[in-house]
Amino acid sequence: MTGWVVVAGLGPGREDLITPEVQAALAEATDIVGYIPYVRRVPARPGLTKHETDNRVELERAAHALEMAAAGHRVVVVSSGDPGVFAMASALFEALEAGPEAWLTLDIRVLPGITAMLAAAARIGAPLGHDFAAINLSDNLKPWDLIEHRLRLAGQAGFAMAFYNPRSASRPHQFARALEILRAECGPRTLISFARAVSTAEESITTVTLEEATPEMADMRTMVIVGNRDTRRVGGYVYTPRSAP
């Protein structure tokens, strides 16, 4: 049996937002590897082994996937959303770089998925219709100072912004600080949307101004989208014009 590794994105939650290409890879797989809640989204079937791992062991998980593929398994490494956006695709290539040379000839493919940012933007209207920046607010893999620096510059540059991992119990104060910076750089009237659990039964979407926004409006299941100075409401929607403000 010839092994392979596919790194696949399962989309934001709802099953019909998984691409047919990813569904086909899941149907052919012998092994599914990933963070527990994502692996659980793949239905069990005979011949399929599910390897559920904890959140912070991405490199070990990636190396395990490559080892299994080298031994002839057909392995799908699953992420939510898109695997290339703050997820497993980079971890897999890091493990490949650090691993034995024989792994370089393995059949490795990355299959795109609908990232949370795009699913959220579509529910809100078109907040990312002009230039924007996607920023991970978690300081697990980079210092908080760098995050503040990027927020300031993106605000000064007039980018709309999409924030992944906006707030967690282990760092409750940082999102409050991010809001302060955004108010100063983007102006208090700029619109900010909180899109929680998009495409699941718990979905909720709220838009307020930066002035009205409070840290409690975000948690780890929320995508936060800040408009530029020209982002506005029309009916129940929020959109950013395609031209520069």
* Residues of the shown chain interacting with ligand SAH in the complex, contacts defined by CB under 6 A: 12-13, 79-82, 85-87, 115-116, 120, 164-166, 195-200, 220-223
Sign of CA dihedral 198, 150, 184, 232: negative
Beta carbon nearer to ligand SAH, 3 or 12: 12
Beta carbon nearer to ligand SAH, 102 or 201: 201
Beta carbon nearer to ligand SAH, 114 or 191: 114
Q: Residue 72 CB, nearest distance to ligand SAH (Å)?
A: 28
* Ranges of H-type helices in the chain: 20-28, 36-39, 58-70, 88-98, 116-124, 144-156, 174-186
Q: Residue 67 CB, nearest distance to ligand SAH (Å)?
A: 23
The residue whose two tokens read 């893999």 is 141
Task: Let me know: does 62 contact 95? Beta carbons within 8 Å.
Answer: yes
Task: Let me know: does 239 contact 126? Beta carbons within 8 Å.
Answer: yes
Q: Residue 166 CB, nearest distance to ligand SAH (Å)?
A: 6
Q: Residue 162 CB, nearest distance to ligand SAH (Å)?
A: 9
Instruction: Tell me the residue number closest to ligand SAH, measured at CB.
Output: 81
Residue 42: which residues within 8 A CB-CB, separation 6 or more?
10, 26, 32, 48, 50, 76, 78
Beta carbon nearer to ligand SAH, 145 or 202: 202
